Structure formats: C-alpha cells, structure tokens
C-alpha cells in the first residue's frame, strides 16, 4: 500500500509541475521577456531570415479555408493576402489551375471527402505558394438557417462559410429579415451547443422568429442563444413605443432603447424571450429616443453603413471608399458631408443632397496622397449632417511611400484586442522585403494612438536587420491611468527614406481585479489549490498512522455475567493435561 501511495504522489507531483509550468507560460504570454518599464513600450522580438523565398517573390498568406472540417460543400470561401503579385492561381487536388482576378477572395465548391487546395502568387521574378488540407463531411453537422438565407436575409450570418470548429466559437452572429427586424448578438456563441447535440442539427429556422413587431427565440431548444443582443423591429407605426417582454412591459434592467426613428425601434436585451412593442399610454414615461406624438419631439435620424474608415494608401495612387446613407426620418432631410481635418487627403464627389424617408444614397470618397504628403498616419473625421443631427465617422489613413522596399502587416491576437489599464498589450508584426536588398538595417517605429483625439500614448523606435522577411512580437505595458476607449496600433518601416506602414485597432476597457487575477493566473491558482489539498491529505494520513489503537470494552447485554469463549476453554483444558 505504501508503494502505491508513493507512486501516486510522484505522478501527482509530475502533473502539478506541468500545470505550474503551463500557467507560468501563460503569464508571460509565451513571449521572449526583456526589460519592462512601466508606461513605456518594452521590446521582445525575434528576427529571422528565410532563404527559401526570394526577396523579389510576392508574399502570400492563406486565410481560409483552414485545416478543419466543413459541413457544406458549396460557396466555400477562399481568402488570402498577397503583395507584389502579378498573377494569382489556385487548384484543387492538383487539377487545372484557375486564375483569380481582381479580388482577394472567391467562392468555390468541392465534393465530399478530403481535399488539398494549392494557392500560387506569381510575378516576373518568381512564385510563392502555399497549400492546405481540409475535409468536407456533410454528415458532421447541419445548421438550418433557411429563414435567413433568402431574398430578405440582409446581413444574416452565412453559416455555410464556416467550419465545424469555427461555429463552436462564432462571434457577431446576425439573424435578419429585412421586412421585419434583426438580431445582432454581441457575445460569442457555440452554435452546436443546443438542447440536443446528438441530432447534429441546430435548427434556427424552426426555433427563431422575426415577424411583424415580434422577435422570439425558443430558449428550451436554443439555450446557447440566450445571450445579450441588439434588436431591431422594423416598420412600426407607433408615435412613442415601449418594449414588451413576454407580453409585459420590459424593465429597464432587461431592455434599453437605443433609438426609434423611421419606424425602426432599436434596443438592447440582456437575454432571450419574446419581444414586441406597443404604444406608450398617454401620461406615462416616454421611450428614450422616441418619435413625435404625446407632446414629445420627433427624433431626426439617419443610418450609415460604416462606423469606421481605415485604409493604407501609396503616394500618387488614388483609392476609393464608399459609404451608404439612409434617411430613417419621417420626412425629407437635407444632408451635407465634409472632412474638416482631411481635405488634403479626401475629396467627396457629392457634398450636399436630399433624401426622402427610407431613401438611400451611396457617396464616393476619393482618397489621394500627393507627393507633398509626408508618409505617416493621419486621423480625422468624416462629418455627416442630416437635418438637426450630426454624426462623425473616425477615419485613419496610413500613407506609404511610392516604391517602398518593404511590405508590413500588424496583427493583434484576439485575446489582446480588448485590454485593461496596467495590463500588457501584445501585437504581431510581419515584414517582407520587396526587392533584392540583402541584409539591411531598417528603422521600425511603433505607436499606440488614441483614436478620438489622435494623442500618441506610447512610441518607440528601433533599428533591426532584415534580409527577406521577419516576424516580431511587440509587448507594451498599458499605463494604469490611461483613458478608456478605442486605440490604434501603428507600425512604420523606413529604409532609404521609403516608408511602409500598417495599423490595427484595439480597445481599452476597465475590468475588476478579481477578473484580472482569475483570468490571467487561472492555471497558477488551480495549481496552488491542488498543492494545498495534497499537503492536507498527507497530514491526515500521517495523523491516522501515528495514532495508537484504543481498546474499548463493552458491557455484555446480559449484565455482569460474562460469556466464555469456547476456544479459550479448550486451550485451558489442553494446558492442564
């Protein structure tokens, strides 16, 4: 027994050591550590040279499909990024090459089974290629969303473009019927985690409903969709609506109105049930953002299809962006559009116009940086005035030099797209040479910039040696007194006066100390708890082992008369003989 216990203790300590080791790795983020100074950037980087890809070859990154299992075989998304290419080709399972023209993504179909997709990016100096193996299994799972895949689907999520692995942690799911309303979920959802996983089916068509003045989810069959969301009820005719939950007035805790205009009631909910609306009775509290009637003023409102404009442009080359404006006000509105801080970069084709109720207009933005514009990051606003309402869209434009010798890309891992003051922020940077330079010293500049004001919070510059391509992991300690809000990570590579740049967005939100500790140091916490239980178990065993046995004599139930053990009597007789 002692040998078994000792063996158990050894195995337990080995497991415990591995847990602690993994936890420790999680704390550092698996990055190379270096000097850390509070409030300033800290640099952890790995510079590598890859001689397989020639300096003049185009760069190529395959974004999808992934090495996963897909449960649809039509309209699969082939998505990629490439720089310096002249021709992009792909083929499936080594069959005939197909040329991709004009788009960084296309849709394709494949038969059931395992496939290998080959992708090539070619220019006059060479070819870069990549490949991926993926499976198509039509029996793996089914998501029935036919109700949100027809003529009135609007912005509904296309579940057939995702793999089985991806739908188990799907973000920003939208279900819309453009006639009646929309559900926009703000939390990550495991689509497969419904009430009956054994049928390998999630039936959204049968268990959700968007009809006139009604949005409903069957919570018993779809408990995984019992999440917070933003809802829209379209084409209502109320003057001042209020929200109903299961037929009763919804409390301010569960429902919050964002806006009501043009018959569109927009509101948030904390979880799911059946939602509708009714007219607010005269004399009762009016709905925030409500329309006219009952003595309240009608809200002037319009919709814009973009809430942020971000682009990287090259000096001397014109780029185009489009925004769509929809009038949701009860009457015709006069609009004006301007870019007060960016007139030297953006020219608007139409700066003033009028729209009737529910009328839409697409505005074209011509973005051009002349040779006098210094390559850098430029922030500003696109201001849209409709009637008495003004809306501003943040604009971020990175200007690169014409003939830049590098291509650079900034990526923020998912877990660092939202961070808290005092935490570490990590970004990944990839840099590719576009010419036959050999190993050269390149200046790299990093900035963390507040989106609203353009204030530079952190900046750092360093010089690194790059041959063909390099990868970096940059770590910054976010100041504890930083303003909460949206920020931009900007990185710029400069060589011989030529600039290449890239940006990525992230957000700084506050979080409680408890969440911070248990979120980041969860593995270490569990290890300490297990170690405590091990020590307690050992002490209990030790006490039991050292304790002397105590003889307990019980009085015989028949009284003082004792019963004699026959075996003892036989022993005495034998002894006397």
> Is 293 within a domain?
yes
**Lowest-confidence pick of 19-33, 224-238, 384-398, 434-448:** 19-33
* CB-CB contact of 448 with 456 (8 Å): yes
Q: What integer pLDDT is reported at residue 102 of this predicted model? A: 73
Query: Per the domain annotation, does 69 fall within a domain?
Result: yes
282 and 169 housed in the same domain: yes
Residue linked to tokens 């190529």: 60
**Position 50 confidence tier, pLDDT thresholds 50, 70, 90:** very low
Listed in sequence order, the DSSP H helices in 270-320 are none
Of 479, 449, 446, 484, give the one whose Cα is nearest residue 462.
446
Specify whether 170 is located in the same domain as 293: yes
Answer whether residue 557 is part of any domain.
no
Query: Does 555 have pLDDT greater than 50?
Result: no
Residue 9 is predicted with a pLDDT of 53
Residue 556 belongs to a domain: no
- Residue 255 is encoded by which pair of tokens? 């429902």
Q: What are phi and psi of 93, to 5 degrees?
A: 60, 30
Least confident of 38-52, 228-242, 336-350, 548-562: 38-52
Rounded mean pLDDT of 408-416?
A: 86
Q: How confident is the model at residue 301 (pLDDT cuts 50, 70, 90)?
A: confident
Q: Per-residue pLDDT averaged across 464-471, rounded? A: 80
Last residue of a domain, one of 399, 431, 453: 399
Tell me the CATH number at 268. 3.30.1610
The answer to whether residue 22 is domain-embedded is no
Shared domain check, 177 and 115? no
Give 321 or 288, the one with higher predicted confidence. 321
Query: Is a pLDDT exceeding 90 seen at residue 458?
Result: yes
Domain holding 66: CATH number? 2.60.40.10
* One domain for residues 293 and 304: no
φ and ψ of 389, to 5 deg: -110, 140
The pLDDT, as a whole number, for residue 265 is 95
pLDDT in tens, 112-163: 999 999 999 999 888 998 999 999 998 889 999 999 988 889 999 999 889 9
- The answer on 307 and 287 residing in a single domain is no
Q: What pLDDT does residue 15 have?
A: 52
What pLDDT was estimated at residue 511?
63
The answer to the question of residue 523 being in a domain is no
On whether both 107 and 157 belong to a single domain, the answer is: no
| Residue 19 DSSP code | H
289 and 185 share one domain: yes
pLDDT for position 299: 44
Same domain, residue pair 128 and 108: yes
For residue 52, give the nearest of 60, 42, 62, 40 by alpha carbon.
Answer: 60
Q: Report the pLDDT value the prediction gives residue 281, as an integer from 0 to 100.
A: 86
| Number of folded domains that form the chain | 3
Tokens representing 123?
């220019």
Distance of alpha carbon 88 from alpha carbon 384, whole angstroms: 39
Task: Report the C-alpha gap between 253 and 269 in whole angstroms.
Answer: 9
Give yes or no: residues 89 and 121 share one domain.
yes
Residue 378 lies in a domain: yes
Kindly state whether residues 146 and 294 are assigned to the same domain: yes
Q: Quick one: pLDDT at residue 564?
A: 45
106, 136, 166 - which closes a domain: 136
Say how far apart CA 63 and CA 70 lie, in whole Å: 15
* 252 and 319 both lie in a single domain: no
Are 166 and 279 in the same domain?
yes
Dihedral sign for Cα 63, 67, 69, 75, please: positive
For 79-96, what is the mean pLDDT?
A: 91
Look at residue 437 in the predicted model and tell me its pLDDT: 66
Residue 225 belongs to what domain range?
142-298
Per-chain mean pLDDT for the chain: 79
Over 90: is that where the pLDDT of 488 sits?
Answer: yes
State residue 522's pLDDT score. Answer: 52
Asked if residue 351 lies in contact with residue 323, where contact means CB atoms within 8 angstroms, the answer is no
Q: pLDDT tens-digit profile of 498-540?
A: 999 999 889 998 764 334 444 444 555 566 677 777 777 766 7
| Predicted local distance difference test score (pLDDT) of residue 24 | 43
Min mean pLDDT across 229-233, 275-279, 297-301, 531-535 is at: 297-301
Residue 543 lies in a domain: no
Task: Identify the band that residue 95 occupies on the pLDDT scale cut at 50, 70 and 90.
Answer: very high
* Residues above pLDDT 70, as percent of the chain: 77
* Residue 328: pLDDT over 90: no
The SS3 assignment for 538 reads helix
Which of 280, 298, 316 terminates a domain? The answer is 298
Find all residues with CB under 8 Å of 488, minimum gap 6, and list them.
377, 379, 396, 447, 448, 449, 451, 503, 504, 505, 506
Query: Which of 47, 46, 48, 50 is closest to 30 using CA atoms?
Result: 46
């Amino acid at each position: 027994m002692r040998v078994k216990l000792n063996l158990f203790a050894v195995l337990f300590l080995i497991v415990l050591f591995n847990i602690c080791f993994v936890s420790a790795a999680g704390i550092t983020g698996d990055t190379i550590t270096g000097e850390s100074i509070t409030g300033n950037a800290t640099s952890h980087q790995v510079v590598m040279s890859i001689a397989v890809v020639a300096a003049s070859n185009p760069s190529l990154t395959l974004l999808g499909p992934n090495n996963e299992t897909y449960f649809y075989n039509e309209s699969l998304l082939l998505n990629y990024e490439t720089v310096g290419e002249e021709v992009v080709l792909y083929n499936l399972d080594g069959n005939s090459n197909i040329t991709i023209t004009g788009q960084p993504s296309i849709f394709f179909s494949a038969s059931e089974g395992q496939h290998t997709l080959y992708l090539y990016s070619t220019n006059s100096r060479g070819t870069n290629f990549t490949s991926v193996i993926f499976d198509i299994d039509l029996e793996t799972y089914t998501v029935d969303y036919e109700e949100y895949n027809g003529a009135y689907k609007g912005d509904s999520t296309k579940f057939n473009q995702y793999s089985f692995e991806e739908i188990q942690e799907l973000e920003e799911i939208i279900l819309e019927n453009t006639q009646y309303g929309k559900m926009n979920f703000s939390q990550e959802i495991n689509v497969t985690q419904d009430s009956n996983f054994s049928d390998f089916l999630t039936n959204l068509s049968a268990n959700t409903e968007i009809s006139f003045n009604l949005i409903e989810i069957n919570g018993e069959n779809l408990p995984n969709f019992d999440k917070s969301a933003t809802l829209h009820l379209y084409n209502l005719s109320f003057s001042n609506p209020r929200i109903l939950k299961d037929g009763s007035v919804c409390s301010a805790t569960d429902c919050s109105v964002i806006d009501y205009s043009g018959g569109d009631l927009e509101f948030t909910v904390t979880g799911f049930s059946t939602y509708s609306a009714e007219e607010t009775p005269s004399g009762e509290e009016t709905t925030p953002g409500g329309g006219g009637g009952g003595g309240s003023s009608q809200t002037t409102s319009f919709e814009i299809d973009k809430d942020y404009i971000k682009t990287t442009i090259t000096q001397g080359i014109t780029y185009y962006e489009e925004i769509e404006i929809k009038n949701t006000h009860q009457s015709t509105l006069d609009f004006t559009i301007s870019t007060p801080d960016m007139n030297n970069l953006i020219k608007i084709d139409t700066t003033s116009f009028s729209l009737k109720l529910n009328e839409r207009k697409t505005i074209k933005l011509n973005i051009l940086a002349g040779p006098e514009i210094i390559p850098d990051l430029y922030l500003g606003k696109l201001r849209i005035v409709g009637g008495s309402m003004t809306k501003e869209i943040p604009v971020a434009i990175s200007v690169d030099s014409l003939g830049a010798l590098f291509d650079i890309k900034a990526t923020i891992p998912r877990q660092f797209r939202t961070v808290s003051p005092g935490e570490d922020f990590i970004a990944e940077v990839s840099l590719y040479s576009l010419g036959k330079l050999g190993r050269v010293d390149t200046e790299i500049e990093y900035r963390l910039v507040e989106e609203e004001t353009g204030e530079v919070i952190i900046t750092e510059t360093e010089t690194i040696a790059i041959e063909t391509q390099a990868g970096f992991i940059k770590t910054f300690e976010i100041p504890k007194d930083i303003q909460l809000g949206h920020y931009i990570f900007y990185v710029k590579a400069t060589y011989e006066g030529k600039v290449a740049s890239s940006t990525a967005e992230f957000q700084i939100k506050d979080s409680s100390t408890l969440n911070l500790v248990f979120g980041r140091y969860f593995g270490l916490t569990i290890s300490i708890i297990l170690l405590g239980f091990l020590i307690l178990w050992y002490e209990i065993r030790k006490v039991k082992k050292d304790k002397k046995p105590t003889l307990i004599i019980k009085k015989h139930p028949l009284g003082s008369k004792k019963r004699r053990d026959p075996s003892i009597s036989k022993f005495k007789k034998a002894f006397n003989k």
